[in-house]
């Protein structure tokens, strides 16, 4: 993947106002697996509330770029700034940085031993230490948000394997 085109070409209006840095700045990162160079001096700016779509054939490095951002793969060279802070080499604090960066995997990687609700609540409860009873993290709230098309009936005991693709793609709870 070669995203070396200057970032300001995409959105001149925003870059014009100097001082406020992008939420996420990627500056010339390299990543190789063995002799296979996946990312070649890749740069990208993402501003707050901006939606960026990466498109490319499989194996072109889309996932690798994402994994470099939240430090699942350390970049070989270059820098990643998140909220103005260089996080590229902060592998020791990776877990704290990842709390602020969400990621959904291609095959979802739902936890098979947990119910649908427990899957959603795992990060707020175990990572952020929230109470299970806080309304914003309660499964019924989450469920209502994600089931716009279906009647929100929170069957919080359903397991990923039991409902397979329906559960995953529509966020349904039965």
Partner 1 sequence: MSLQLVIDYLLSPVFFRAAMMTLLITVTSLFFGILAGLVIALLQEANLRISRILALVYLWLFRGTPVLFQIIFIYNVLPGFGIRLSAFTSAVVALSLNEGAYMAEILRSGLGAVKKGQRTAGLALGLTRAGVMRHIVLPQALRIILPPVGNQMIGMLKTSALVSVVAVEELLLVANQTASANFRYFEALTAAGIYYLILTTIFMGAQNWLERSLDPKHRRRRRTTAVERLAPAAEAR
CB 1 within 8 A of CB 38: yes
Q: Which range of residues in 38-46, 48-56, 80-88, 125-133 is near partner 1 by CB under 8 A?
A: 125-133
Using only the alpha carbons of the chain, give its radius of gyration: 19
Q: Which of 54, 89, 99, 150 binds partner 1 (CB under 8 A)?
A: 99
Question: Could you tell me how far CA 150 lies from the centroid of its own chain?
Answer: 26
Q: Which of 52, 54, 127, 134 binds partner 1 (CB under 8 A)?
A: 127
Size of site (CB under 8 A) for partner 1: 35
**HSE-up of 55 (CA within 13 Å, CB side)?**
2
| DSSP state letter for 21 | P
**Nearer Cβ to partner 1 (2/109):** 109
How many H-runs (helices) and E-runs (strands) does the chain carry?
6, 4
**HSE-up of 167 (CA within 13 Å, CB side)?**
24
Q: Which of 70, 75, 88, 172 binds partner 1 (CB under 8 A)?
A: 70
**Nearer Cβ to partner 1 (40/66):** 66
- Minimal distance in Å, beta carbon 58 to partner 1? 17
Q: Does 72 bind partner 1 (CB under 8 A)?
A: yes
Q: Which of residues 7-66 bind partner 1 (CB under 8 A)?
A: none
Neighbours of 12 (CB within 10 A): 8
Neighbours of 18 (CB within 10 A): 6
For partner 1, the binding residues (CB under 8 A) are 70, 72, 94-96, 98-99, 103, 105, 107, 109, 111-113, 115, 122-123, 126-128, 138-140, 143-144, 152-159, 161-162
């Amino acid at each position: 993947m070669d995203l070396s085109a200057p970032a300001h070409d995409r959105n001149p209006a925003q870059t014009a106002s100097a001082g406020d840095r992008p939420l996420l700045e990627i500056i010339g990162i390299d990543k190789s697996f063995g002799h296979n160079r996946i990312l070649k001096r890749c740069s990208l700016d993402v501003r707050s509330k901006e939606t960026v779509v990466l498109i490319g054939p499989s194996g072109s490095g889309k996932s690798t770029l994402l994994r470099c951002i939240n430090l699942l793969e350390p970049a070989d060279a270059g820098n990643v700034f998140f909220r103005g802070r260089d996080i590229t080499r902060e592998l020791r604090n990776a877990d704290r940085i990842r709390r602020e960066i969400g990621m959904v995997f291609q095959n979802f990687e739902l936890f098979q031993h947990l119910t649908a609700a427990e899957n959603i609540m795992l990060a707020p409860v175990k990572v952020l230490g929230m109470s299970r009873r806080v309304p914003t993290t309660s499964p019924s709230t989450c469920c209502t948000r994600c089931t716009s098309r279906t009647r929100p009936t929170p069957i919080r005991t359903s397991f990923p394997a039991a409902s397979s693709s329906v559960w995953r793609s529509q966020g349904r709870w039965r």
